[in-house]
Amino acid sequence: MTKEPDTWIYFIRCTETKRIKIGVANYPLRRFHDHQTSCPTVLEFAGLQRGHRQLERELHKRFGKYRVRRNGEWFSECKEILDYIKANAPVDDDVHWQINNTLIGLMPIIA
């Protein structure tokens, strides 16, 4: 029997606009790479936590007043979101290494 991949809530920050994307993915490093490839500005991996679609929806609702556009997944950077990331989804050096590794997007995060 094949094990299902873990599901992750990820937080990606656009360094130019100071906006944060809150999303869900089985392979968040691959998702980050996809976003960076299609984005003309520099992105950074701001946070990562185990989660599921329901948690993503709850976070979208919780931070809804900071949403950049209706029904979008990008939010204006604010203390409330940054505090949440710091408390629940800090990114460690290993994740930064994987992001900068040439295999980015080709491997899942192994926790």
Is residue 105 over pLDDT 60? no
Supply the pLDDT for residue 2.
Answer: 56
Please compute, for residue 102, the number of CA atoms within 13 A of its CA located in the half-sphere on the CB side: 0
Q: What are phi and psi of 48, to 5 degrees?
A: -155, 130
Supply the pLDDT for residue 45.
Answer: 87
Of 79, 7, 76, give the one whose Cα is nearest residue 48: 7
Is residue 1 over pLDDT 80? no
Supply the pLDDT for residue 3.
Answer: 58
Write out pLDDT tens, residues 28-61.
Answer: 888 888 898 888 888 988 999 999 999 999 999 9
3-state secondary structure string across 62-85: HCHHHECCCCCCEEECCHHHHHHH
Supply the pLDDT for residue 33.
Answer: 85
- Is residue 46 within 8 A of residue 62, CB to CB? The reply is no
